[in-house]
Amino acid sequence: LRLGFDLIRSNPKICGYSITSMVDGNVAEGLWTFRRELKPGMLETLRDGWAPLRWCLFVEPLHGYAGRPIDLEAVLANEDVLRPGTYPAHLKICGSAGTVWEQRIDFSVPAPVKGSDAPLTVTVLRVSVTLDIPPGVYEFAASQEQGGAPVNGRREFCL
């Protein structure tokens, strides 16, 4: 469900999302079990998924090979939390070897076009990197250093 929220919330053309199955049916798509208990981690996922300011992080491929290119994307879903302006962000990849890649970047939230709403998303980073590092589990992390506190700033992946 978390990846689904990332995909939906990072799309500037989609302004809503409706979950239609509360209880598990034949394919376990619900938020609750048959006993009407929330599935583990579901409450946190829903809270973060609908947060007015949240990171949507993508690593492609999620399971790849060291020494080959991977694509990183960081999109900020913003429901009128950040005003138009420039903000600093810190993006990095960490694992058992420590921090293996990082970038500080300033991103801009544009002013809305007269007569329209502010944009729902801001693409902060889209880059391809090659990491010549030991195989293992790594985490792509994003943080806004000033002006806001977005949730969901982590994406785990394997090389």
Q: Tokens standing for 53? A: 């300011």
pTM: 0.89
- 119-157 per-position pLDDT tens digit: 999 999 999 999 999 999 999 999 999 999 999 999 999
Q: Tokens standing for 1? A: 């469900």
CA gap 101, 29 in Å, rounded = 36
Q: Tokens standing for 133? A: 């590092």
Asked if pLDDT for residue 63 goes beyond 80, the answer is: yes
